[in-house]
Amino acid sequence: MNTSGKEAYGVSATSLLVDKYILTGVTILVAFLLVFFMLFPIYKILVLSFFKEGVLTSENFSLGNYIRYFGTPRIARSLYNSFYVSVVTMAVTTILAFFFAYALTRTTIRGKGFFNTVAFMPLIAPSIIQALALILLFGRNGLITAHLFKVDWSIYGAWGIVISEVLYCFPHALVILYTTLSAVDTRLDEAAESLGASALQVFWRVTVPSAKYGLLSAGALTFNLTITDFGNPVVIGGDYNVLATEIYAQVTNLYRFDLGATVSVILLVPSVAAFMVNYYVTRKSFALISGAARPFIRPSRPFRKWGFTIYCSLVSASIIMVFATVVMGSFVNVWPYDWSLTLKHYRFPSLGGYSAIWTSFWISLFVGFLGAFFTLIAGYIVEKKKPFGVQILYLLSVMPAAIPGLVLGLGYILAFNRPYFFFYGTPWIIVICVVIANFTLGTLSSISNIKNIDPSIEEAATSLGATSISTFVRLVFPLSRVAFFQNFVYFFMRCMTTISAVIFLVSATVHLAAIEIIWLDNDGWTASADAMSTCVIAIVLLMLGLLRLVMGKGSSHVMGGAGG
């Protein structure tokens, strides 16, 4: 039996020595990257807003920028405007998404899969396509306003922002509410009904209160997304100034970086607050979800069924309309006069053109891999390794969601535009910025995946002589493959479509497709902006399809076994 002497072979001493420090090393590295690429730029913004010339001395301290902000009614109005559109968007989106989620989880309407797919379409497109489509349909020369109803009304301004933001935020709110409603036990409803409550009473007294955390969380998220968005307000806002566009205007028009920083700080306050509400509420609501109840839904009455079918169809139609309009707008000769088809808008009248799409594509690949990789590591450390100070690492990892992309981008200019930061002006700064800006969701999904890996699996590996690195490479990574590629797609998608985080960072050497869309629209090449959007959507769809193809086969044993 003892043919293979144990003395002869052993785990290499060097790898064990490395193993001793690797966890600390990696933890410090990840924390350092987050501090350096997230907190440092924000710190620079804070300093610039409170200290003259951004020089940190006591005599330089001044509230002058804030006095100027609040003392100038026009600028101060941007705060009110931002709140106004964000609150309205929050209310509208949450309600719309709640009933949509209700229809998908609590009724027996048909075509749920279709509605579900459609509802998530906005995630694959640059956020401004909502605004682009609305202008084509409801602009001063819009197909519907000027040509169908011949009214002299246009969508520019607060309403334009609200409608495009509702369409943009809808899938985000839906995810949360869908999860909430599927987790709440419907037997509560049935119990109430059996006690003689009317359907309406059940809805208000039981269903809505049981989903209150979900509603709060969806509301907070929508508020945060809207108040930090730059693309939609800049395209459809017209003269309606919000905080994000005000930052851009202060910096680019008046060269007042200090005021831009000040407005950034003012924008940070509500966005961080919304983030904290969301964070707090999410933790609470997880405690409520039992996970046990996966109930059977009684067939809905025809009235209910038809009502909800019509409702979901209307919402889906609005979303499809956005996409159809943009795609169509890119192919017709002159919207809305000459409907003959043409490819001329795809000859981009811009300096970036197709090379911008190509650049976007490969930068997004890098962002996809690095983002998925680092969030997996962060999630692994936070969930499994729990080293000293793990709470700090966790907080750092989820914090980016609280920081508006535009603010982060501005912070990057202020912080890294130095000759010794060699990455400034290269594609790398964009890669880093997008990875950091989307770190939160990546980490959270890594964590929830890694939670599913039986802790004894790692202990088994360790006892068999595996070091942390080989455990990670041979087990944690293969077992998180699905999450890794989901995150890859997420980061890829975000990088292809994000605007606010990178608008300050594109340069003569690096043109990005999403920014080209803004510029094309700015220059009045709306049809080409539509064409560029269509290209971006096509690439994202292609990537989604490709990944599904790769992931589709042979992953069942991984999925089945991971639960232990």
Partner 1 sequence: MKNTKKISVLVTILFLCVFLGGPVFAAKKPVVVYTSLETEETVEYLKLAEKELPDLDIKIIRLSTGELGARMLAERNNPQADLVWGWAVTNMEDFRDRGLLEKYKPKGWANIPDKFKDPNGYWAAIDLYMAAFVLNTEVMAKGNLPKPKGWNDLLNPVYEGKLIMPNPASSGTGFLQVASLLEMLDPDYAKKPVKKNTGWEFLEKLDKNMGQYIKSGSKPAKLTAAGEYAIGCSFAFVYSSLKKRGSPVEMVLPEEGAGYELEANALLKGAKHKREAKKFLDWAIGESAMREYAKFKLGVTLPGIPGPADLPQLETIKLAPMDFPWQATNRGEILVVWQDKFLR
Partner 2 sequence: MPKNLRLRDLTKVFGTLVAVSHVDLDVQEGEFVCFLGPSGCGKTTILRMITGFETPTSGEIMYDGKVINDLVPQKRDFGIVFQSYALFPNMTVLENIAFGLKMRRMPRDKITARVDEILNLIGLKDWRNNYPAQLSGGQQQRVALGRALAPNPSVLLLDEPLSALDAKIRVRLRAVIKRLQQELGITMVYVTHDQEEALAIADRVVVMEEGVFKQVGPPIEIYKNPQSGFVADFVGISNFFEGQHQDGIVRLKDTQFVVPQAQSLSDDAVILSIRPEKIDVLDPGKPGKDLQSSNIMNGKIEVVTFLGAVVRILVSSANGEVIVDMVEKDFEQRQLNRGDEVDMYFPPDAFVVYPLE
Residues 241-260 that bind partner 1 (CB under 8 A): 241, 249, 251-255, 257
Residue among 424, 428, 452, 541 that touches partner 1 (CB under 8 A):
424
x/- track of binding to partner 1 for residues 315-334 (CB under 8 A): -------------------x
Q: List the single partner that 170 binds among partner 1, partner 2, none, CB under 5 to 8 Å by kind.
A: none
Choose between 20 and 451: whose C-beta lies nearer to partner 2.
20
- Measured distance CA(198)–CA(219) in Å, rounded: 28
> Is residue 469 a contact residue for partner 1 (CB under 8 A)?
no
DSSP symbols for 244-286: HHHHHHHHHHH--HHHHHHHHHHHHHHHHHHHHHHHHHHHHHH
List Cα–Cα distances, 298 to 105, 106, 141, 189, 211, in angstroms.
11, 8, 48, 11, 20
Angle between helices 129-138 and 158-183 (to 10 degrees): 130
Question: Does residue 470 touch partner 1 according to CB under 8 A?
Answer: no
Site string for partner 1, 516-545 (x = CB under 8 A): ---x--xxxxx-------------------
Q: Where are the alpha helices (DSSP H) in 400-454?
A: 405-416, 427-437, 439-450
Q: Which residue has the tokens 């939160």?
A: 440
Site string for partner 1, 402-421 (x = CB under 8 A): -----------xx--xxx-x
**Euclidean distance between CA atoms 450 and 383, whole angstroms:** 7
49 binds partner 1 (CB under 8 A): no
SS3 state at 334? strand
Q: Are 125 and 533 in contact (CB under 8 A)?
A: yes
Residue 92 interface partner, choices partner 1, partner 2, none, CB cut-off 5-8 Å depending on type = none
Q: How would you label 114-128 residue by residue, b for 16+ Cβ within 10 Å and e otherwise?
A: ebbebbebbbbbbbb
Between 272 and 482, name the residue whose CB sits nearer to partner 2.
482
Picked from partner 1, partner 2, none, the partner binding residue 140 (CB below 5 to 8 A depending on kind) is partner 1
Work out how close the CB of 453 gets to partner 1 at its nearest, in angstroms, rounded to a whole number: 16
What is the full DSSP assignment across 61-75?
A: B--HHHHHHHHSHHH
- Work out how close the CB of 129 gets to partner 1 at its nearest, in angstroms, rounded to a whole number: 18
**Residue 194 binding result from partner 2, partner 1, none, given CB thresholds of 5 to 8 Å by partner type:** none
Q: Does 509 bind partner 1 (CB under 8 A)?
A: yes
Give min distance, CB of 12 to partner 2, in A. 7
Which two three-digit tokens encode residue 434? 């997008």
Distance separating alpha carbons of residues 507 and 484, to the nearest angstrom: 30
- Binding of residue 340 to partner 1 (CB under 8 A): no
Q: Which is nearer to partner 1, 365 or 390 (CB)?
A: 365
Q: How far is the CB of 485 from partner 2 (least distance, A)?
A: 15
* Residue that the structure tokens 């985000």 belong to: 172
**Out of 39, 43, 76, 77, which residue is the one contacting partner 1 (CB under 8 A)?**
77
Interface ranges with partner 2 (CB under 8 A): 1-6, 8-12, 16, 19-20, 454, 456-457, 459-467, 470, 474-475, 478-479, 556-558, 560-562, 564
Query: What's the Cα-to-Cα distance from 295 to each of 87, 201, 287, 561, rounded to whole Å?
Result: 34, 21, 19, 25
Q: Does 553 help bind partner 1 (rule: CB under 8 A)?
A: yes
Task: Please report how close the Cβ of residue 362 comes to partner 1 at its closest, in angstroms.
Answer: 5
- Measure the CA–CA gap between 491 and 493, rounded to whole angstroms: 5
Which of the choices partner 2, partner 1, none does residue 561 contact, using the CB cut-off of 5 to 8 A by kind? partner 2
> Which of 106, 511 has the CB closer to partner 1?
511
Determine if 55 is a binding residue for partner 1 (CB under 8 A): no
CB atoms within 10 A of CB 407: 28
The length of the chain in residues reads 564
Q: Report the alpha-carbon distance of residue 302 to residue 299 in Å, rounded.
A: 9
Omega within 30 of 0 (cis) for the link into 336:
yes
Burial of 193: CB neighbours in 10 Å, binned 0-12, 13-18, 19+:
middle
Q: Which is nearer to partner 1, 132 or 176 (CB)?
A: 132
Q: Residue 338: which H helix or E strand, with range?
A: strand 338-341
Binding site for partner 1 (CB under 8 A): 72, 74, 77, 139-141, 146, 152, 154, 156, 234, 238-241, 249, 251-255, 257, 334-335, 337, 349-351, 362, 365-366, 369, 413-414, 417-419, 421, 424-425, 478, 481, 506-509, 511, 519, 522-526, 550, 553-555
